[in-house]
Amino acid sequence: MAGDPRSGRQAALRRRLQELGLDGLLVGYGANLRYLTGFTGSSGLLFLTADRAVLVTDFRYAVQAPAETAGAVEIAIETNNLWDRLRRLIETGPRCRLGFEREHLTVREAERLSKIDNAEPVPTGDLVEGLRQVKDAAEVGAIRAAATLAQDALADVLPSVRVGETEQAVAARLELALRLRGSEWHPFETIVAAGPRSALPHARASSRPIGRGEWLLLDFGAQLDGYCSDLTRTVVVGAPADARQREVYEVVRQAQLRAREHLRPGMSGRDGDALARDVIVAAGFGESFGHSLGHGLGLEVHEAPRLARTAEDPLPVGVVVTVEPGIYLEGWGGVRLEDDIHLTARGAECLSDGRTELLELH
């Protein structure tokens, strides 16, 4: 595994387990499995100790698992029950204090784990997720490529948007463009919301037709090599923006620009959030920006760290986060602008195009 990032990830995890006085860790969460082993199947349990890493999976992945993991772990194919195979694996070794992912283990699975002889189950939190915060060059490259793909797909679709077509029709064309350009899947349900519905931060695309001069908010992403991008653009359809639209849009744009320019590793997630929030509050729209400024981005579209008023931890060098301020006015509409930002030792690097000038589609 020389030069394989999975070797370093497993070694870092083992050091953390030693610090916690644990003999091993049971990993079953999909994104964490992929990060540590390369395995992308839907059924797997990783038993990691100081000297072993064994992936237990089923017959469906007898060919896929060895190909994807490529020597990063031992593979155990089980034709009946994964937990029975795990039990036999653990019970043939010495007694161990075995950490498990408390956020992801079901009650039934916890009951099964408690019945395994030689294992003393110990709940753990965010051990692998903590490692996943900091991205290596290949991970950053995948996110950048996913952002470029998403931007290109949007550029394909925007010229064809017309007054009178439905949000669902636009969403369908955008999702098709993403797939045709090579996106492995959609990292989340594409948001396309027009007019007053753009004031719903997580609106689902509906059958509502787009009206002339209305906002159209598009929140979407691509996935490449498992890594996600997450972008939001807000445009006006069928007419020039009016004075109020320009006012609100410019406040959001300036808030986002300030955060993109001044976000730095070492500052807390709370201080990062304030970079944009202070601009919106000063403009009199503080009550209309109710969500956090951003979140981590990687194998999942929402992961650590967070840019939020409650986030006190410092932002590490190497994280990738979204910066997505918004203003939402019920009955009128909303504006959100979102880009993907890599925090380097030199400062903030925009992985998406950062082009947030107001677009008026005629």
User: Domains of the chain by range and CATH?
Assistant: 5-132 (3.40.350.10), 137-361 (3.90.230.10)
Residue pLDDT, tens place only, 247-275: 999 999 999 999 999 999 999 999 999 99
Residue pLDDT, tens place only, 303-321: 999 999 999 999 999 999 9
pTM of the entire structure?
A: 0.96
Residue with tokens 């051990």: 127
Residue pLDDT, tens place only, 173-225: 999 999 999 999 999 999 999 999 999 999 999 999 999 999 999 999 999 99
Distance set, CA 93 to CA 44, 53, 141 (Å):
20, 13, 41
The reported pLDDT for the residue numbered 5 is: 96
Q: Of 17, 222, 235, which is closest to residue 130 (Cα–Cα)? A: 17
Q: What is the mean pLDDT of residues 351-360?
A: 97
